A and B are shown apart, each in its own frame.
Chain A
Amino acid sequence: MNTALINMAMQTTLAAIEPRTIAQRAAESAHENLWITAGYFLAAIVGVALLLSFLGMALIYIERKVAAAFQCRIGPNRVGPWGLLQTVADTLKLVFKEDFVPQMADRTLHMIAPFLALLVPVVLLALIPYSPALQVADLNIGILFITAIGGFGVMGILIAGWSSNNKWSMIGAMRAGAQIISYELSATLALLVVVLFSGTMSLTGIVQSQEDGWWIWRGHAAGLCAFIIYLVASTAELNRTPFDIPEGESELTAGFHTEYSGLRFAFFFLAEFINMFTVSALTATLFLGGWMPFHIGDWTSFNSAMDAIPPSIWFLGKVTAIIFVIMWFRWTFPRLRVDQLMHLEWKVLLPIGFANLFIAAIIVLANAYPYPVAGQ
């Protein structure tokens, strides 16, 4: 699934070769030499581990620095240059902490839950086109797969809350269940708008369909509206402020992970950050053209200057911008109450989402884009 990662490093060499996903490469080599396939798998596992730890640490470091900037502080600056090693030190601390399981907890489920929570974002990483040459698997039903797997993410949280045998955890898990399942509807409706526009469910296909303009502004207001709905709904699925009621610190101490410590707590933590990366990457891919550079009409010199920037840099830049917006939410907003949260979803976002989908369908049927689109 997910060798994406190693390939980050190998990317420059790969760019020259004909674009193929890692999954394709592995499948091809299986006909020739099984050892090469095995090598791909081994590399994939190492790659995933490296990418996860790198992403986790980098995002935590960024989050802390961003938070510090919002709060008139400096942030980590003691361990290593500019505090870069602070997250490494924190990770080591978490590794060596006692892995505590409450006496009355359901031991097996308590152990499994963090891995389930981490599994979903990691699987989704495989679908993301990082650059033309760098994608693990390009499914032709990509969007369907994302929705299906994404909905599975709540399982880890529910199991964690239930197995901890703690009332706060249980309330947190129940809140998370209600919240994530509700907001998935809106997120899916927003995804469908892009599917309608691009006429494909394959993520690479969606990126390629945005060659002449990103969907966020090419579908009149419908694309922008879908973008905003998706950003809000996926922030809610991430359980981050202002939608962090499942772990709202001042209410539920730590919500569903109250009873977790050490490495297992770190897994929840990591899951949240990888999830944030996945969501940002999907938003960038669907609405902001993925690795497509920014082009303006027929300003050829401007466009070629934009083309000079490598696609993976474009992609990472867009992802970083969205991650920053999500962090911005977190450090400026208070938390919603549970019924206000449901009100926002079922009475505001969902009707708007349906109306938006309808409008998008009309735009597509009438082929009424603001400017002509090549190939459609």
Chain B
Amino acid sequence: MSVQVRTLDDLLHAPLDADSELTTQEYLVNMGPQHPIAHGSLRVVLRLDGETVKHVIPVPGYVHRGVEKMCEHLTYRQIIPYTDRLDYLSAIMNNWAVAKTVEKAANIPTNERIDTIRTIMSELQRLQSHALWWGVTGMDLGAYTAFLYGFREREIIGEIFEETIGARLTMNYIQPGGLMYDIKPDFAQKVKNLLPYLKGCIEQYETLLSGNVIFQERLRNIGILDGKHAIALGCTGPVLRASGVPYDLRAVEPYGVYDKVNFNVVVGEVGDCWDRYYVRLEEMRESVRIVEQLIDNIPEGPHATIRYNEEIILPEGLHYGQVETARGVFGVFIASDGKNKCPIRLHFRSPNFNNLWIVTAIASGWRIADFISIQSSLDLVIPDIDR
């Protein structure tokens, strides 16, 4: 038996090697919690030898809010708004994960209309999230202009959400047994007008950044992660698919109406930063395709199958549901005792928490600038790591 508990100080005060040929001195720097690459407040302690990264110690927790503890005192409907605030760029998909788990456990039915609207909204949000990510990656690599282009598309999709949902960021839209609000009559038309524009934007992204020789130099063959390691390191979403593993919950265990639409699971070949970049761009194209196939035939029907104030009590036992968000598998694990309105234990399986740690495996040996590329290509949202 060897249980040894350590602290961060033990790591930071460990002797630093002077092991390079010129006997240079290694040093530690804190990248974050306040740093432009932190995109929020993620602290990463880097052990550097000159410009070369020797070791990476991520120190999350600066936005830990104890969501799982709070959820133990909340009803399932009250939990939904909390999920908006985890991965705020995939708010609707997070809502869906809770709703899906609760619906399956409590046998709450949905209908075609609900499923279709949920799918459309999720794909729009995936587009929004990837557009923002594209801009932020550009900014991280020094192309500040890209940032504003990415934000432009994000705002335009935000208008669509705002009209239906009344919010641009914290949606609280998908509820157990339905949707918070029905779509507006001109929703379909507006989305249809938006799609050709978004297609044009994706082409614009390609001409703005993808073809740039500096940009490619910064991403190609940087931070290579092969499929086997990617699975063992628990990463999901575009990061896993860029490593060549076609694991996409939308295709593997379809939910909503994903089994009725045609789309490709985009995979990369090398697993470097460039593949992670390109997989996301291609995913945007696939998302446009999915919305295109659905938007013309939204079935009629009620937008909720149960009343909003209906009491939901899950049967005793373990319940788990997962969806594919813009960053990977977001899972909700609920343990219920079958008597209370609240879960006795609720655990969010966060894609960002699991994706974060691959930096420890792939970032050492690269330069500081490559570390930026790697972290940027993981598309991390910090509140989802810390919960």
Note whether A and B contact each other (Cβ less than 8 A).
Answer: yes
CB-defined contacts of B29 to chain A, threshold 8 Å: 167-168
Which residues of A are found within 8 Å of B218, using beta-carbon distances? 334-337, 340
Contact B27 A248 (CB under 8 A): no
B254 to chain A, nearest CB (A): 38
B144 contacts across to A, CB distance below 8 A: 67, 71, 241, 331
List the B side residues contacting A334 at CB < 8 Å: 138, 141-143, 209, 212, 214-215, 218
Closest to B35 in A: A253
Question: Do A244 and B142 have beta carbons less than 8 Å apart?
Answer: yes
On whether A338 and B142 interact (CB within 8 A), knowing A167-B27, A242-B214, the answer reads no
Q: Which of A67, A71, A248 contacts B149 (CB 8 A)?
A: A71
Q: Tell me, yes or no, whether B195 is within 8 Å of chain A by CB.
A: no
Is A70 located at the chain interface by the 8 A CB criterion?
yes
Contacts of B138 in A (CB 8 A): 334
**Provided the pairs A168-B29, A249-B36, A338-B369 are in contact, do residues A331 and B214 lie with their beta carbons within 8 angstroms?**
no
A171 within 8 A of B: yes
Given contacts A251-B372, A253-B36, A333-B214, contact A338 B149 (CB under 8 A): no
Does B217 touch A at the CB level, under 8 Å? Answer: yes
Q: Is the CB of A331 within 8 A of B217?
A: no
Whether A250 contacts B37 by the Cβ 8 Å rule is yes
When distances are taken between beta carbons in the complex, the residues of chain B under 8 Å from A337 are 217-218, 367, 369-370
Question: What 1/0 flags go to A202-218 for Cβ under 8 Å of B?
Answer: 00000000000000000
Contact residues in B for A73 (Cβ distance below 8 Å): 148
**Which residue of chain B has the shortest Cβ distance to A70 in the bound complex?**
B145
A72 close to chain B: CB less than 8 A: yes
Is A194 an interface position by the 8 A CB rule?
Answer: no
B295 at interface by CB-CB < 8 Å: no
Whole-angstrom distance from the CB of B375 to the nearest CB of chain A?
A: 10
CB <8 Å contact, A248 and B214: no
CA of A217 to CA of B139, assembled, Å? 37
Taking CB atoms and an 8 Å cut-off, the chain B residues in 143-180 that contact chain A are 143-145, 148-149, 152
B368 touches A333 (CB 8 A): no
In the bound complex, what is the Cα–Cα distance between A245 and B152 (angstroms)?
27
Which chain B residues lie closer than 8 Å to A67 at the CB level? 144-145
B384 on the A face (CB < 8 A): no
In the assembled complex, B283 has its CB within 8 A of some CB on chain A: no
B72 interface hit (Cβ, 8 Å) = no
Q: Which residues of B contact A249 (CB under 8 A)?
A: 36, 142
Compute how far the CA of A189 lies from the CA of B369 in the bound complex, rounded to whole angstroms. 29
Among B320-360, those with CB < 8 Å from A are none
Give min CB distance, B343 to chain A, whole Å: 40
The listed residue with most B CB atoms (<10 A of its CB), out of A71, A244, A339, is: A71
B142 contact from A70, A171, A241, Cβ within 8 A: A241
Q: How far is the CA of A339 from the CA of B365 in the complex (A)?
A: 14
The reply to whether B140 and A250 contact each other, CB–CB distance below 8 Å, is yes
With both chains docked as a complex, state the minimum distance between the C-beta of A102 and any C-beta of chain B, in angstroms: 15
In the complex, residue of chain A having the shortest beta-carbon distance to the beta carbon of B209: A334
Assess the A251–B368 pair: CB atoms within 8 A: yes
Q: How far is the CB of A40 from chain B (nearest CB, A)?
A: 44
- Chain A residues contacting B152 (CB-CB under 8 Å) are 72
When A and B form their complex, which 4 residue pairs have the shortest distance between CB atoms, in order from nearest?
A335-B142, A334-B143, A334-B141, A71-B148
- In the complex, given contacts A167-B29, A334-B215, A339-B51, what are 19 additional A-B residue pairs having Cβ atoms less than 8 angstroms apart? A67-B144, A70-B145, A71-B145, A71-B149, A72-B149, A168-B29, A241-B142, A241-B143, A249-B36, A250-B140, A251-B369, A251-B372, A253-B36, A334-B141, A334-B218, A335-B142, A337-B217, A339-B367, A340-B218
Binding site for A on B (CB under 8 A): 27, 29, 35-37, 51, 138-145, 148-149, 152, 208-209, 212, 214-215, 217-218, 367-370, 372, 376
A residues lining the B interface (CB < 8 Å) = 67, 70-73, 167-168, 171, 241-242, 244-245, 248-253, 331-340
Enumerate 27 A-B pairs (CB-CB under 8 Å) in ascending A order.
A72-B148, A72-B149, A167-B29, A171-B368, A242-B214, A244-B142, A248-B142, A248-B369, A249-B142, A251-B37, A251-B368, A251-B372, A252-B368, A253-B35, A331-B145, A333-B142, A334-B138, A334-B141, A334-B142, A334-B143, A334-B215, A334-B218, A335-B141, A335-B142, A337-B369, A338-B367, A340-B218
